[in-house]
Amino acid sequence: MTTGEPSVLALDCMGGDHGPSVVVPGAAIALSRHPGLMFELYGNGPAIEQELARHPALKARSSVHHTDLTIAMDAKPSQALRRGRGSSMWLAIEAVKKGQAQFAVSAGNTGALMALSLMILRAIPGIDRPALAGQWPTISEPSIVLDVGATIGTTARELSDFALMGAAMARAMFGIERPTVGLLNVGTEEIKGNEEVKQAHAWLKQVDLDIDYRGFVEGDQIGQRVVDVVVVEGFAGNIALKTAEGTAKQIATYLKEAMTSSALAKTGALLAKGGFQVLKRRMDPRRVNGGTFLGLNGIVIKSHGGTDAEGFASAIEVGYGMARRDIVEQIKAGVASFHSKLEQITAAEQTAPTGAGAATGQARASN
């Protein structure tokens, strides 16, 4: 990894619902924003070339690497690991591993992308399981929420690591030096929650970190953007994310029914068309496209599978920001420093066994 403006990125052209017909125009938009970029494109050569023909400026700055192998959108992670070698997704990640690209972007299968990224790039020292960090639309700027499903049964140490890693992403994306971080819980009082969030809360308060830790936040506060980064256990985080998506869909259904409930409502809705377009833009998932796996030796961005060129360009932008800020080195240094401070605390607690902050294992609590 080199610091400064990223110069080369690797794209899995076969991922997502639309393949090269979205990825290539998306790359063209990214090039218009960052004219110094070069592109390594992986996938079906003729299909990519056909799209590139419409984007001569991009074509001049791209290398096409043909492969017949594609990871299906419904492939299991285990299948991807066994049979994914040489696929467009694999090759894009490998380009990062080999230093041929500063980051990779794929709109492919999330589980496969996670599994291949972990196998090829490996986790950084001290991290067992990387987190999947997503952008969450809020009433103002998006916030970062992690983990949204990569780690099930996240431990207290992992939750604390996620706070650091999410903050690094917030620095890269929002240019905030000391991002605010909250821990998602079932209440904001210290007695609330399971043992993992209580222990992580104690550590994040106690250890001097380069973040502005704000304590517990609740589910209804995410959309109000009370913090830049929301840390949550992967099972609950995935359910929260999908529940929010489902609720948005549900309200859209209500709205449609309401606006066709009478002739007058229909006329009003027609007049207010511009207003509804404003609403549609605000709820447009392309605005917040680009999740990432944090805790790897390299940057791999996951784009929504159903996005369009504009959305894919947003995902590239996320990777660009993270590569420019050299987020991998930042996370490595942060995690190493945090873990060494944690060891000191644990050692101190062992000599004073009645001290605060005890067990870190899985435990039950009847809040």
Find the binding residues for a second copy in span 119-178 (CB under 8 A). Answer: 129, 137-139, 149, 151-153, 155
Q: Is the previous residue joined to 147 through a cis bond, with omega within 30 degrees of 0?
A: yes
Q: Indicate the residue among 83 and 282 with the shorter CB distance to a second copy.
A: 282
Q: Which of 94, 233, 317, 326 binds a second copy (CB under 8 A)?
A: 233
CA distances from 201 to 217, 226, 240, 345 (A): 11, 17, 20, 14
Nearest alpha carbon to residue 45 among 61, 27, 69: 69
Taking the C-alpha atoms of residue 11 and residue 20, their distance in angstroms, rounded to an integer, is 10
Coil, strand or helix: which one is 113? helix
CB of 50 or CB of 262, closer to a second copy: 262
Q: Is 296 in the site for a second copy (CB under 8 A)?
A: no
Tokens 């660009």 -> residue:
320
Rg (CA), the chain: 22
Question: Cα(281)–Cα(97) distance, rounded to whole angstroms?
Answer: 37
Distance CA 271, CA 45 (A): 47
Q: Which of residues 65-124 bind a second copy (CB under 8 A)?
A: 76
Can you tell me which of 262, 340, 344, 346 binds a second copy, judged by CB under 8 A?
A: 262
- The stretch among 64-72, 244-252, 291-299, 329-337 that binds a second copy (CB under 8 A) is 244-252
In the complex, the smallest distance separating the C-beta of residue 241 from a second copy, rounded to whole angstroms, is: 7
**Binder among 56, 273, 350, 351 for a second copy (CB under 8 A):** 273
Q: Which residue among 35, 56, 175, 274 contacts a second copy (CB under 8 A)? A: 274
| Smaller CB separation from a second copy, 74 or 208 | 74
Q: Are 188 and 215 in contact (CB under 8 A)?
A: yes
Q: Which of residues 11-50 bind a second copy (CB under 8 A)?
A: none
Shorter beta-carbon distance to a second copy: residue 32 or 367? 367
Specify the DSSP element, H or E, that contains 134.
Answer: strand 131-136
- In the complex, least distance from residue 250 CB atom to a second copy, rounded to whole angstroms: 4
- The number of beta carbons lying within 10 Å of the beta carbon of residue 44 is 19
| Residues in region 188-227 near a second copy by CB under 8 A | 189, 191, 193-194, 218-224
The sign of the CA dihedral 109, 114, 115, 118 is positive
Question: Among 53-61, 100-108, 184-192, 315-323, which window interacts with a second copy (CB under 8 A)?
Answer: 184-192
Task: Give the position of tokens 């990519």.
Answer: 48
> Binding segment for a second copy among 54-62, 277-285, 293-301, 307-315 (CB under 8 A)?
277-285
Choice between 21 and 160, CB closer to a second copy:
160
Residue 357 near residue 349 (C-beta atoms within 8 A): yes
Q: How far apart are the first and last CA of the chain?
A: 45
Amino acid at 333: A
Of 3, 63, 100, 261, the residue at the interface with a second copy (CB under 8 A) is 261
| Binding-residue total with a second copy (CB under 8 A) | 74
Is 53 a binding residue for a second copy by CB under 8 A? The answer is no
Tokens 């986790």 identify what position?
A: 123
Pairwise CA distance, residues 231 & 233, whole Å? 7
Quick check: 275 binds a second copy (CB under 8 A)? yes
Contact positions with a second copy (CB under 8 A) in 333-362: 362
User: What minimum distance in Å lies between the beta carbon of 195 and a second copy?
Assistant: 8
Stretch that binds a second copy, among 53-61, 164-172, 201-209, 237-245 (CB under 8 A): 237-245
Residues 52/59, Cβ–Cβ less than 8 Å: yes
H or E element that contains 136: strand 131-136
Query: What's the min distance (Å) between Cβ of 216 and a second copy?
Result: 11
Binder to a second copy among 271, 347, 352, 356 (CB under 8 A)? 271
279 lies in the binding site for a second copy (CB under 8 A):
yes
Distance CA(303)–CA(298), nearest Å, equals 16
Shortest CB 166 distance to a second copy, Å: 17
Residue whose tokens read 């960052």: 34
Nearest CB to a second copy, comparing residues 82 and 276: 276
